[in-house]
């Protein structure tokens, strides 16, 4: 089978597969004859580096620090192909996953921290669809606001076209300038260099308990119902859990958001800012959620103006 050089074909055909076992990098003792099952080797001026399974390293008495999972991209990539390694490394970097790349004659191989193996496979699956999730930056603001205007051109409450600029655009502009803006929780979905989705979570509280308040979340209208919103929801949850947040609150459809683990806030002892919201006001309790907590939620200050 001919090797592939076209980047788009390479990305859509990656078919990443996780190999069994843990792998490590080790420096081979100088003057010792090679032995054992060596998966890869690189000779440098300072010595010979080998990649072996962790069990083999221990059998051979080799020291190691980094324990990795081995992911093989099954597409047959040409050695002269341009862009695949950069695209993969960039996507994993945006997800906070370190990556060491080994290029073979037929395939590229990724060694990522063993604890990040499942997450890396998720990131590669999104990349195979052309989607990259990354933290928003100031240079993205204009594009995000335009996206939000398009996404909310029809009111999600009334189902009717909005007259003028949607209130979500005004809210988002104020959230960016608010003291309660948390950069790590402002996430864009990018496809082909274009921002096609955005979600933001800002600081909120249930009485004195710090939480996150989610919203707005926007996806290009012509790309809705294609998993972009789901990817953004999962990413903000992952980041919140990693940051040690206690929970995330939002106002939305119980049918839709229950699939992400959200529950009526009242069932967790949290009162909505407006009692009329009922079960549409929901909370996702994270691992740091205090089971005995009771309180009334308040969003970041800009929400009070809508």
How is the chain split into domains, by residue range?
7-129, 134-305
Contact 10, 38 (CB under 8 A): no
Question: In 3D, which of 205, 209, 229 has the Cα closest to residue 218?
Answer: 229
63-82 average pLDDT score: 86
pLDDT tens digits, 87-134: 999 999 999 999 999 988 889 999 999 999 999 999 999 999 889 999
Strands 100-103 and 209-219, by their bridges, are unpaired
pTM score of the predicted model: 0.83
Task: Give percent above pLDDT 90 in the chain.
Answer: 81
Which pLDDT score is estimated for 195? Answer: 97
**CA 159-164-169 angle, 5° bins:** 85
Give CA–CA dist 173/181, Å, rounded.
11
Which of residues 179 and 305 earns the better pLDDT score?
A: 179
- At residue 8, does pLDDT exceed 90? no
152-171 average pLDDT score: 88
**Thinking of the domain 7-129, which architecture would CATH place it in?**
2-Layer Sandwich (3.30)
Strands 295-298 and 270-271, by their bridges, are parallel
Contact 170, 209 (CB under 8 A): no
217-233 average pLDDT score: 94
State in words which class domain 134-305 has: alpha beta
- Cα dist from 80 to 10, 142, 215, 261, whole Å: 13, 37, 44, 45
Mean pLDDT of the chain: 93
Q: Do you know the residue count of the chain?
A: 306
Contact 109, 72 (CB under 8 A): yes
Which pLDDT score is estimated for 79? Answer: 63
Which of residues 155 and 95 earns the better pLDDT score?
A: 95
Question: End-to-end distance of the chain based on CA atoms, in angstroms?
Answer: 59
35-50 average pLDDT score: 95
Which pLDDT score is estimated for 282? Answer: 98
- At residue 49, does pLDDT exceed 70? yes
Q: Which residues contact 138 (CB under 8 A, 6 or more apart)?
A: none
Question: In 3D, which of 98, 102, 133, 136 has the Cα closest to residue 114?
Answer: 98
Q: Which residues contact 44 (CB under 8 A, 6 or more apart)?
A: none
Which pLDDT score is estimated for 160? Answer: 84
Which pLDDT score is estimated for 147? Answer: 97
Q: How confident is the model at residue 80 (pLDDT cuts 50, 70, 90)?
A: low
Q: How confident is the model at residue 290 (pLDDT cuts 50, 70, 90)?
A: very high
H, E, C per residue of the chain: CCCECCHHHHHHCCCEEECCCCEEEEECCCCCCCCCCCCEEEEECCEEEEEEEHHHHHHHCCCCCCEEEEEEECCCECCCCCCHHHHHHHHHHHCCCCCEEEECCCCEEEEEEHHHHHHHHHHHHHHHCCEEEEECCHHHHHHHHHHHHHHCCECCCCCCECCCCCHHHHHHHHHHCCCCCCHHHEEEEEECCEEEEEEEEEEEEECCEEEEEEEEEEECHHHCCCCHHHHHHHHHHHHHHHCCCCEEEEECCHHHHHHHCCEEHHHHCEECCCHHHHHHEEEEECCCCCCCCCEEEECCHHHHHC
Q: How confident is the model at residue 81 (pLDDT cuts 50, 70, 90)?
A: low
Q: How confident is the model at residue 39 (pLDDT cuts 50, 70, 90)?
A: very high
Which pLDDT score is estimated for 141? Answer: 97
70-84 average pLDDT score: 81
Task: Give bridge partners of residue 256 from the DSSP assignment.
Answer: none
Q: How confident is the model at residue 206 (pLDDT cuts 50, 70, 90)?
A: very high
Give CA–CA dist 196/214, Å, rounded.
18
């Amino acid at each position: 089978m001919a090797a592939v050089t076209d980047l788009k074909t390479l990305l859509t055909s990656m078919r990443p597969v996780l190999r069994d076992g843990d792998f490590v990098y080790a420096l081979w003792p100088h003057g010792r004859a090679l032995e054992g099952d060596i998966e890869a080797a690189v000779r440098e001026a300072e010595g010979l580096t080998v990649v072996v399974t962790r069990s083999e390293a221990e059998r051979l008495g080799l020291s190691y620090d980094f324990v990795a999972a081995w992911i093989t991209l099954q597409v047959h990539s040409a050695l002269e192909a341009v862009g695949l390694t950069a695209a993969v490394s960039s996507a994993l970097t945006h997800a906070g996953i370190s990556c060491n790349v080994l290029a073979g004659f037929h395939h590229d191989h990724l060694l990522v921290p063993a604890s990040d193996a499942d997450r890396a496979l998720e990131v590669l699956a999104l990349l195979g669809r052309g989607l990259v999730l990354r933290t928003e930056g100031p240079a993205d603001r204009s594009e995000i606001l335009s996206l939000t205007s398009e996404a909310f051109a029809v009111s999600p409450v009334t189902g009717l076209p909005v007259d003028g600029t949607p209130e979500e655009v005004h809210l988002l502009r104020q959230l960016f300038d608010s003291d309660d803006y948390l950069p790590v929780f402002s996430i864009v979905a990018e496809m082909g260099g274009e921002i096609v989705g955005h979600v933001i979570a800002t600081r909120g509280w249930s009485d004195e308990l710090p939480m996150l308040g989610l919203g707005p979340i926007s996806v290009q209208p012509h790309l809705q119902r294609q998993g972009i919103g789901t990817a953004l929801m999962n990413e903000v949850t992952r980041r919140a859990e990693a940051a040690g947040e206690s929970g995330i609150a939002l106002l939305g459809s119980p049918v839709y958001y229950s699939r992400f683990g959200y529950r009526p806030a009242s069932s967790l002892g949290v009162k909505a800012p407006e009692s009329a919201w009922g079960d549409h006001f929901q909370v996702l309790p994270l691992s740091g959620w205090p089971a005995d907590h009771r309180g009334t939620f308040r969003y970041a200050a800009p929400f009070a103006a809508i």
